[in-house]
Structure 1
Amino acid sequence: MPKSPRLASSADDVALSTVDSDRLSLGKTLAWCAPGMSYVANVLILGYITIYATDTLRIPAAIVGTLLLVAKVLDAFGTLFAGWIVDRSPVTRLGKARPYDLAILGMWLFTGVLFSATADWSLWLRIGWLFIAFVLNTAVFGPLFTGAGLLYMARALPTRQVWAKASSRGGLLSGLTAIVVSTALPVMLGMAGKSGSGWSVTIWMFSVPFAALGLIRFFTVKEKYETERPDMPKVTLREIVSALRSNGWLWVIMGIQLFAAIVGNIGASAYYFRYLVGDLSLAGALAPLGLIVLPLLLLLPRLMRRFTVSRLVMYGMILGTIGYLIYFVANGNLVVLFIGGAFVGIAAVPLSFLLPLLLLDSSAMNEARGRRRLESTNGALANFAQNLGSGISSGLAGWLLGLAGYDGALHTQPPSALFAIAALMGLIPAVISVFAVILALLSNRWEKQMPDIREQLAARHAQAEDPNDGPQRDAAQIGTNTMAIVTDTTRGPIQEGGTIMALKASREAADQDARERESRP
């Protein structure tokens, strides 16, 4: 059973426990990040579903686009339902969020099944097989896995500083995984050509080891902290609706996620390299760009001391817009594509690895307004936006290719189809990225309120009686353990250990937040 952080009995205890709680060992880092590495590999493999369906299964592009759009809409609503399930889940011997890590097995099982069809089947059997396997992966097991992630982090890791470390280090390891998969997979699929059996063998070779990797965190990282009082009633639909209606920031974060998902999931890269570059296996040539981008992940905690997360996301999307425009004019030139890829790679870093912090801050804003924190629901809504954006991009790609006269059975596509592929690779993502830039600028207005909100929550918690010495705190005053709420990236947690000690720490936190507000743009 998770427990509250230990009480500090002296100033030395507070200092020592603050240092200890901000540490994240190498072993725990690897264990915590293993499912993320597995998940990234799964997402990269699913990125080839469109070209697999059109070129290997010979399903018309317009049908594929419609199929994936419908599947992703189901996925989006499945994500909302999964978040509701996780928030209402009881705390078991294994924890509250931790058991949902087992969903990674279902994701990999149906990934292998998805790519095991054959073009010899009837059209409707191919469509049905593709649709069912894809929906089970992305609308059932995927949402359960991702929907519990934020809550698992809040219950297993003690402070916002550690959350930032876990996110940035996880991004580094996931980036390395992406480089390996993005380099090896196109080469192996290029060797398989349009052969259904070749694709099936290749995908299963990835599915088995990555499924095992995804289970490491479940067996090694336990939940230790309560985010709400154990006797708090289960979250109700009315509480969720109330929080959503009052938290405009969450809707802005969802909008950023939506536009970013449309940009990142169009899936034109495989088409571009097969038909404009002339060799699908060369798609892995851009993967080493990750080696340039990965060091930025180690700088994220430092950058967060100078800039808000929203501004980092905004700057990233501006660079992404430039990179996609370079893609559009590259005309298959690998050198130009490499330059554009550098911009696009840098753009993805802030959004990919800092969005959980915005969502957790949004949860803190819920609490500050006297509502439930709803970490899992907020995470589910962000995933809803991501899946909806992915569906829109899949439908857009399929319909545009269909209108442009694309035929997967041809080895050379007509000029109209080639232009459509180039537009999907660069021009369309560039235009959509501009909308994400605007929303990130709006998000910054809310995020700049967070130092005051953390100060408010710190004072509220400090004034509450120690649960060992008096009555339980009012439910409106407790939405997470004190350590998680009042910590930011520049200091450790406030440990509970007496009103005087807590008030002193609260004043220090307020002073630090004031300095941050002055230094941030």
Structure 2
Amino acid sequence: MSKQGKENKVSAKLIFAWNSRSISVAISVVLMMQVTYYSTEILGLASTAVGTLFLLAKLFDGVTDLVVGFIIDRTNTRLGKARPYELFIIPLWVLIVAFFSTPDISTTGKMVYIFITYVLIQSVCSTFLQSCETVFLGRAIQDDVGRAKIMSIGGVIVMLFSAVSSILLPQLMANMGTQPGGWSKIALLYAVPMLLIGICRFIFVKEKPINQNDENQNRIGFFEGMKLLSKNKYIFILAFLIMLSFLVTNITTIVATYYFTFIFGDLGLMSVVGMLSLVAPFFFLLFPVAIRTIGSLLFVKIGLVVACAAAIVRFFFPASLPVIVLTTLLMTVGSSTLTMMNHYFILQCIDYGEIITEKRVEGTPAALTNFANKLGSGLASALVGGFMGLFGFVSAGTVQTDSAILSIRLLYSLIPAGIMVVMYIVVHFFDVEKVLAKLRTGK
């Protein structure tokens, strides 16, 4: 085996070490998906106000994402460019516990408290963790096949952990969530083991420089970095796709809690759906094969068609548990083909930018897509809260009107389907894989 082959070999140890932090963050996302439910049903805050609050918090990320991207691009330590920021996994979990331990104060006080803690979680900790991940991956694994392998196998591992967490969480919510201090206990049950697991990537995965002139990249100023970024059309297309993808994922995840509460009348049934999602991750083992055969973008398009069809079918069978379970599986697999491999596509965009500008900028492109991720999540919270409020949903109400029930059904089916149609159209213009291949070969 060549020296380069040895360097790029992806061992089982590296796969598990790398994905340790991915598991931790994924579990934190599962828990943070319930911030809207926690804020309306436990804290008793108005759904419209909560949606607006979280959207404002997400928009604030636009500033911090660009700043963090610039900081990472300028970082040069003995630990590497991105690796030091892995330590933000510690305050992330501390703050999550704090969020779900909101003190019993006035309504205004609660709004201020959840806004501050939410901003610290998302705009500081998550921003550093997500922005450094792509840069770290590009330096730990420096060939496309190795990156695809570590993400596809890692995607299975991460989604399995997420699925188990999604199965467990509704049961904890049903049994502990209504008790005084119950949500604090739930958060701690997740936080302690996930913090310990999440720190493993920092400990066991090392960075390698991209090239011999790597230190020169630290001299790129903020405005120069923005100028270089503006010449990379593919990173903006990808950012838009990521925003839409996370918009779909977050809408369905947020609404699922309301769906099973008010349409099925049993929140515990969410665990049935979560159990089937244990199957979904194994489909992502097909990604390296797809890259070699049909291409990554055709694989994404096929997934979107399947997910869109499943979402439409779901609308016509709202109270059928088998249909909901099956369509959830198809939507999870189909809509996740892009997000599960987003770091792969980001690195392609970074490589494209380096070729056309002759300068490599890593942190800022990653930060832009990170902002798109959070913007999609924030828009989902605002859309769910605003849409349900428009249809007459009553926070903490035990009975909802037919109009409010319809809003929940639409958010769980046809609205995600419409967004995925837009995604399919946009994917057609994201031909970076083909263009990059031509640029590398000079043909």
Which category of TM-score, normalised to the shorter sequence, fits these structures? over 0.9
8 Å CA contact 1:404–1:416 kept in 2: the answer is yes
| Structure 1 residue identity aligned to 2:230 | R
Displacement, 1:294? 2.1
Determine the C-alpha separation between the residues in 2 that align with 1:39 and 1:426.
Answer: 27
Q: Which residue of the other structure, out of 252, 267, 270, is the alignment partner of 1:283? A: 270
Q: Indicate yes or no: 2:225 matched with 1:240.
A: yes
Could you say which residue in structure 1 is the equivalent of 2:307? 320
Could you say which residue in structure 1 is the equivalent of 2:391? 404
TM-score (norm 2): 0.95
Could you say which residue in structure 2 is the equivalent of 1:36? 22
Could you say which residue in structure 1 is the equivalent of 2:123? 139
Q: Which residue of the other structure, out of 19, 27, 36, is the alignment partner of 1:50? A: 36
Residues 336 and 228 of structure 1: is their aligned pair in 2 closer, same or farther, counting only changes over 3 Å?
farther
Displacement, 1:331? 1.6
**Deviation digits for residues 465-495 of structure 1, max 9, x if unmatched?**
xxxxxxxxxxxxxxxxxxxxxxxxxxxxxxx
Could you say which residue in structure 1 is the equivalent of 2:102? 117
| Structure 1 residue identity aligned to 2:143 | T
Could you say which residue in structure 1 is the equivalent of 2:132? 148
Could you say which residue in structure 2 is the equivalent of 1:102? 87
User: Percent identity over the alignment?
Assistant: 29
- 1:376-455 to structure 2, matched below 5 A, reads 376-444=363-431, 446-455=432-441
Q: Indicate yes or no: 2:292 matched with 1:305.
A: yes
Q: Indicate yes or no: 2:11 matched with 1:25.
A: yes
Determine the C-alpha separation between the residues in 1 that align with 2:170 and 2:212.
Answer: 46
- 1:98-497 to structure 2, matched below 5 A, reads 98-118=83-103, 120-227=104-211, 229-232=213-216, 233-266=218-251, 267-444=254-431, 446-456=432-442
Residues 428 and 415 of structure 1: is their aligned pair in 2 closer, same or farther, counting only changes over 3 Å?
same
Determine the C-alpha separation between the residues in 2 that align with 1:43 and 1:322.
Answer: 26
Residues 242 and 371 of structure 1: is their aligned pair in 2 closer, same or farther, counting only changes over 3 Å?
farther
8 Å CA contact 2:287–2:296 kept in 1: the answer is no
Displacement, 1:227? 4.5
| Structure 2 residue identity aligned to 1:186 | P
8 Å CA contact 1:158–1:225 kept in 2: the answer is no
8 Å CA contact 1:53–1:59 kept in 2: the answer is yes
| Structure 1 residue identity aligned to 2:397 | L
Could you say which residue in structure 2 is the equivalent of 1:62? 48
Displacement, 1:388? 1.1
8 Å CA contact 1:254–1:381 kept in 2: the answer is yes
Displacement, 1:391? 1.2
**Which runs of 5 or more residues in structure 1 are unaligned?**
1-14, 457-509, 511-521
Q: Which secondary structure state, in structure 2, belongs to the residue aligned with residue 95 of structure 1?
A: coil
8 Å CA contact 2:53–2:115 kept in 1: the answer is yes
Q: Which secondary structure state, in structure 1, belongs to the residue aligned with residue 430 of structure 2?
A: helix
8 Å CA contact 1:297–1:349 kept in 2: the answer is no
Task: Report runs of 4+ in structure 1 exceeding 3 Å deviation.
Answer: 193-196
Determine the C-alpha separation between the residues in 2 that align with 1:282 and 1:452.
Answer: 50
Displacement, 1:157? 2.0
Stretch of structure 1 that moved more, 376-385 or 311-320: 311-320
TM-score (norm 1): 0.81
Pair member with larger Rg: 1
8 Å CA contact 1:114–1:134 kept in 2: the answer is yes
Displacement, 1:140? 0.6
Residues 130 and 196 of structure 1: is their aligned pair in 2 closer, same or farther, counting only changes over 3 Å?
farther
Could you say which residue in structure 2 is the equivalent of 1:81? 67
Displacement, 1:196? 4.8
**Which runs of 5 or more residues in structure 2 are unaligned?**
none
Determine the C-alpha separation between the residues in 2 that align with 1:212 and 1:153.
Answer: 21
Displacement, 1:436? 0.7
Determine the C-alpha separation between the residues in 1 that align with 2:438 and 2:408.
Answer: 48
Displacement, 1:317? 1.6
Determine the C-alpha separation between the residues in 2 that align with 1:58 and 1:134.
Answer: 17
Q: Which secondary structure state, in structure 2, belongs to the residue aligned with residue 291 of structure 1?
A: coil
**Deviation digits for residues 264-319 of structure 1, max 9, x if unmatched?**
11211111111111111211211223333222222210111112222222221222
Tell me the C-alpha RMSD between the 2 structures. 1.7
